[in-house]
Amino acid sequence: MTPFELAEPTSLKEAIKLLDPDDPTIRPVGGGTALMLMMKAGVFKPVKLISLRRIENSYSTIAATGDGLRIGAMTTLAALERSADVKKAAPLITRTLKTLSNIRVRNVATVGGALAHGDPHMDLPPVLMALGATLTVMGPKGERKLAVEDLFAGYYETVLDKDELIAEAHVPAHGTKKAAYMKVTTGSADDWPALGVAVVLEGDAGGIKSARIVASAATDKATRLKSAEAALIGGKVDDTLLAKVGDAAADEAEYIADVRGSISYKRELMRVYVRRAVRAALEGAK
C-alpha cells in the first residue's frame, strides 16, 4: 500500500472535525477489513485515514431497549454474533452472521463499516433493511435519523456526506414476525454472494399482513422489492401465490452482471430464491 497518515481521535466529535466534506482522499476507517482490500488493489489511495477505533467505548456496545436493540456502530460483527440480547430480539441477525465472511473478519469488521461502505454484496445491509432498522448519523451540524432503507444511493455509494458518521443502529425486535435471509454463493461456499434475499413477514401461511423483502448482491444496492411484497400480502400462501411473488421480484429488480453471474442468471436466481426465502421464513428457522 502507498503511505498515508493515520489520525486516531478519541471522540466521535473529534473524528467528525478531522473529516473533510470535499476531500475524498480522507476517509474514516473502522475495522478496515473492506477498506484494506480497496487500498491493496490501488483503487483507493488515501492521503489520510481517520481511525474510529479509539473513540468512546459506548459506540462499541449493544443494549436491549424497550422495543429492540441499540447497536453502536463500532460494534464488531463477532460481538453482534455472540450477543444474547441480539439473539433474543433479532435472531435473524445472529443466524445471518454465522455465514458472513469468516471468524477473523467478523472479529474486526464493524456494523457501521458494513453499512457505510455501501458494498451491495454484504449480508448485514439487506437484513437490517428488512428488519426496518434506523440509524443515528452524526455530522458537524449534529445528528439525524436515517432509515437503513434510505442509506444506499448506488454501487458503493451512500447518501452520507463525507463528514458524517454512522453512530448507532436501532433495530426493532422481531416480536412475532417471521424472518429469513438466504444467500447464493456461486463460487466457493464462503465467497461473496451472487444474490442475498432478506424477508421479514407478519402473518402466516393463511395470509400475510405485512412483508418486507430486500434483495442485494445481484443488484447495485440493497433494494426493497415492493411489488413482490404487494403480491405476497393477503392471499393464502401456496405455490401459485409464491410463483407470482417470485415473478414480481424477478421483474422488479435491476441487476448487475459480474463474475458471480450474468443478468439473466441472477434474474432466475431471484425468481427462485425469493420464493424459498418466504417459505423459509414461514417454516421458521432452525
Partner 1 sequence: MSATKTISFTLNGAPVTADVKPHHNLVELLQGQFGLTGARETCGQGLCGCCTVIVDGLAVSGCLYLAAFLNDGAEVSTVEGLDTPAKLSPVQEAFVETAAFQCGYCTPGFILMVGQLLDEHPDPDDDQIKHYLTGNLCRCATYPQVMEAVRLAAKKRKAGAAA
Judged by beta carbon, residue 150 or residue 190, the one nearer partner 1 is 190
Judged by beta carbon, residue 78 or residue 233, the one nearer partner 1 is 78
Contact range with partner 1 by CB under 8 A, out of 37-45, 84-92, 111-119, 255-263: 37-45
36 near partner 1, judged by CB under 8 A: yes
Residues 6+ apart with CB under 8 A from 248: 225, 227, 228, 230, 231
Q: Tell me if 205 sits within 8 A of 178, measured CB to CB.
A: no
Dihedral sign of CA atoms 109, 112, 115, 117 in order: negative
Q: How far is the CB of 29 from partner 1 (least distance, A)?
A: 8
131 near partner 1, judged by CB under 8 A: no
Q: How far is the CB of 33 from partner 1 (least distance, A)?
A: 5
23 near partner 1, judged by CB under 8 A: no
Q: How far is the CB of 80 from partner 1 (least distance, A)?
A: 14
57 near partner 1, judged by CB under 8 A: no
84 near partner 1, judged by CB under 8 A: no
Nearest to 105 by CA among 224, 232, 18, 190: 190
> Quick one: which of 23, 24, 37, 147 contacts partner 1 (CB under 8 A)?
37
Number of helical (H) and strand (E) elements in the chain, helices listed first: 11, 14
Q: How far is the CB of 193 from partner 1 (least distance, A)?
A: 14
d(CA 198, CA 169): 18
83 near partner 1, judged by CB under 8 A: no
Q: Tell me if 167 sits within 8 A of 137, measured CB to CB.
A: yes
**What count of other Cβ atoms lies within 10 Å of the Cβ of residue 255?**
20
# of chain residues touching partner 1 (CB under 8 A): 28
> Quick one: which of 42, 66, 176, 189 contacts partner 1 (CB under 8 A)?
189
Q: Which amino acid is at 123?
A: D
Contact range with partner 1 by CB under 8 A, out of 5-13, 141-149, 163-171, 278-286: 5-13
190 near partner 1, judged by CB under 8 A: yes
x/- binding map, residues 97-116, to partner 1, per CB under 8 A? Answer: -x--xxxxx-xx--------
Q: Tell me if 166 sits within 8 A of 137, measured CB to CB.
A: yes
d(CA 227, CA 100): 28
Nearest to 192 by CA among 78, 33, 79: 33
Q: Tell me if 254 sits within 8 A of 278, measured CB to CB.
A: no
Q: Tell me if 229 sits within 8 A of 212, measured CB to CB.
A: yes
40 near partner 1, judged by CB under 8 A: yes
18 near partner 1, judged by CB under 8 A: no
66 near partner 1, judged by CB under 8 A: no
User: Which residues sit at the interface with partner 1, rule CB under 8 A?
Assistant: 1-6, 8, 29, 32-33, 36-37, 39-40, 49, 51, 53, 78, 98, 101-105, 107-108, 189-190
